[in-house]
């Protein structure tokens, strides 16, 4: 078990939130109207890349949609079924982009996904080529987006990839001009999306470089990558969550930091690691895009992905991203402010050892809180009363995630 017992955690005092513990909101509402129609909470769905990589086919997308319904994921809030890179074919004589032989009929695929009560996403690049070397949208932005809209696409992931080469060629040794070119390329697509009149989520990818959170909102983006690519191993996942410090103020309804898609159920991640990964993404108000083999996932993985309480935390309509408040030894303590004055507290054992020889005590003063608090453990579903004087024992890479409806 990851905890000694729920009762052993008992009583960690959580008290009145001080103004000082609140994250300042400096981000201005600069969003164009289009982006306000979608992603008012972080997008939820599935994307083909983390599991299928280059091998994804039409059949896999249909099977993912079927499994999203059969597993209960759709009913738990997952909406988007996103085709990542490698669907692209050649352009015809009119410049119209074709799908390749793995995707014989995109319109029919979109109709199928829509018939399941789900939405379909697609992928392209502002460069001449995508990251996997397929046809990109350079010089065909508006044409491609009109095509996507005619198919019934609901979500576009737009990945910088070979556009970096364009930037270097057009503005050699001029980083400022290269940045301007990048922003202009993403804005061009943001405007083209808006011009279709079809609500589509707009997701920017640039490997987490160039402080996208500072400029991406003005391109019309609904989300932007904050790190390099995720991998299904703990070290990479922990490195990613450690890179989110200081970014909370950039997120809010319609515009989210994206620490990359989920690896829950992939690679050799343990169940504890799956739980912690999912919990922290929820604390971060991150997009929840599953990336595993949905038709063949285990019941345990399905239970992680469909935990309604953790999903509700992610989707909290206040839209305030949580933050890591302090670290002691190898334990990280996070909080997230929720609608109605509620507070989520996460205690993550990032270390390789169980904290039994030197139990962890939550320092409530560091969270700006005092006195015993009642809440719900979102993984056991049990009521807990938290104090600062009871030891908490958490297994390696596992997490305690508690929602306090009325922190005092």
Q: Please indicate whether residue 58 is annotated as part of the active site.
A: no
CB of 250 to ligand GLA, least distance (A): 19
CB of 228 to ligand GLA, least distance (A): 7
Q: Please indicate whether residue 309 is annotated as part of the active site.
A: no
What residue ranges bind ligand GLA (CB under 6 A)?
49, 84-85, 130-132, 159, 205, 207, 229
Residue 81 neighbours by CB distance under 10 Å = 30
When the beta carbons of 85 and 141 are compared against ligand GLA, the nearer one is 85
* Cα separation values, 195 from 155, 224, 391, Å: 15, 21, 57
CB of 249 to ligand GLA, least distance (A): 24
Q: Which of 66, 229, 293, 303 is catalytic?
A: 229
CB of 85 to ligand GLA, least distance (A): 3
When the beta carbons of 209 and 317 are compared against ligand GLA, the nearer one is 209
Longest alpha-carbon distance in the chain: 72
CB of 227 to ligand GLA, least distance (A): 9
Residue 401 neighbours by CB distance under 10 Å = 27
Write the DSSP assignment of 244-298 as a string of letters. TTT-GGG-BTTBEEE-----TTSTT--HHHHHHHHHHHHHTT--EEE-S-GGG--
* Cα separation values, 46 from 66, 74, 170, 293, Å: 12, 10, 36, 10
When the beta carbons of 132 and 179 are compared against ligand GLA, the nearer one is 132
Residue 7 neighbours by CB distance under 10 Å = 12
CB of 326 to ligand GLA, least distance (A): 31
When the beta carbons of 262 and 269 are compared against ligand GLA, the nearer one is 262
Tell me the helix, strand and coil percentages in the chain, rounded to 5.
Answer: 35, 20, 45
* Cα separation values, 9 from 6, 42, 138, 205, 382, Å: 5, 31, 56, 40, 12
Q: Which of 84, 85, 159, 314 is catalytic?
A: 159
When the beta carbons of 43 and 322 are compared against ligand GLA, the nearer one is 43
When the beta carbons of 225 and 403 are compared against ligand GLA, the nearer one is 225
Sequence-distant (≥ 6) Cβ neighbours of residue 19 within 8 angstroms: none
Pairing state between β 373-377 and 399-404: antiparallel
* Nearest Cα residue to 262 out of 97, 26, 45, 81: 45
Catalytic residues: 159, 229
């Amino acid at each position: 078990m990851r905890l000694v017992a729920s009762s052993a955690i008992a009583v960690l005092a959580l008290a009145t939130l001080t103004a000082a513990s609140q994250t300042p909101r400096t981000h201005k509402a600069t969003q164009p109207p289009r982006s306000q129609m979608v992603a008012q909470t972080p997008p939820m769905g599935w994307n083909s890349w983390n599991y299928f990589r280059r091998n994804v086919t039409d059949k896999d997308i249909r099977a993912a949609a079927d499994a999203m319904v059969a597993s209960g994921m759709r009913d738990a809030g997952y909406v988007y079924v996103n085709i990542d890179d490698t669907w692209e074919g050649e352009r015809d004589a009119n410049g119209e982009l074709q799908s390749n032989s793995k995707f014989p009929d995109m319109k029919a695929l979109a109709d199928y996904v829509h018939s399941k009560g789900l939405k379909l996403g697609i992928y392209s690049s502002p460069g001449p080529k995508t990251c996997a070397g397929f046809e990109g949208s350079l010089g065909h932005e508006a044409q491609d987006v009109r095509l996507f809209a005619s198919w019934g696409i609901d979500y576009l992931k737009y990945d910088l990839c070979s556009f970096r080469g364009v930037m270097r060629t057009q503005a050699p040794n001029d980083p400022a001009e290269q940045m301007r070119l990048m922003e202009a390329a993403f804005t061009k697509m943001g405007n083209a999306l808006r011009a279709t009149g079809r609500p589509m989520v707009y997701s920017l990818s640039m490997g987490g470089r160039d402080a996208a959170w500072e400029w991406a909102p003005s391109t019309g983006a609904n989300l932007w990558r904050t790190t390099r690519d995720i991998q299904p191993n703990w070290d990479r996942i922990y490195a990613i969550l450690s890179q989110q410090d200081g970014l909370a103020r950039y997120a809010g309804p319609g515009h989210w930091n994206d620490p990359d898609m989920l690896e829950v159920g992939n690679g050799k991640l343990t169940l504890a690691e799956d739980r912690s990964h999912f919990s922290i993404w929820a604390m971060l108000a991150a997009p929840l895009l599953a990336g595993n083999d949905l038709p063949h996932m285990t019941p345990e993985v399905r239970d992680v992905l469909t935990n309604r309480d953790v999903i509700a935390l992610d989707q909290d309509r206040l839209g305030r991203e949580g933050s890591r408040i302090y670290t002691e030894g190898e334990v990280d303590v996070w909080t997230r402010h929720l609608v109605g004055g509620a507070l989520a507290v996460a205690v993550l054992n990032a270390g390789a050892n169980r904290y039994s020889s030197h139990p962890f005590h939550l320092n409530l003063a560091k969270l700006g809180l005092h006195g015993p608090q009642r809440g719900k453990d979102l993984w056991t579903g049990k009521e807990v009363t938290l104090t600062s004087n009871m030891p908490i024992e958490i297994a390696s890479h596992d997490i305690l995630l508690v929602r306090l409806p009325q922190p005092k």
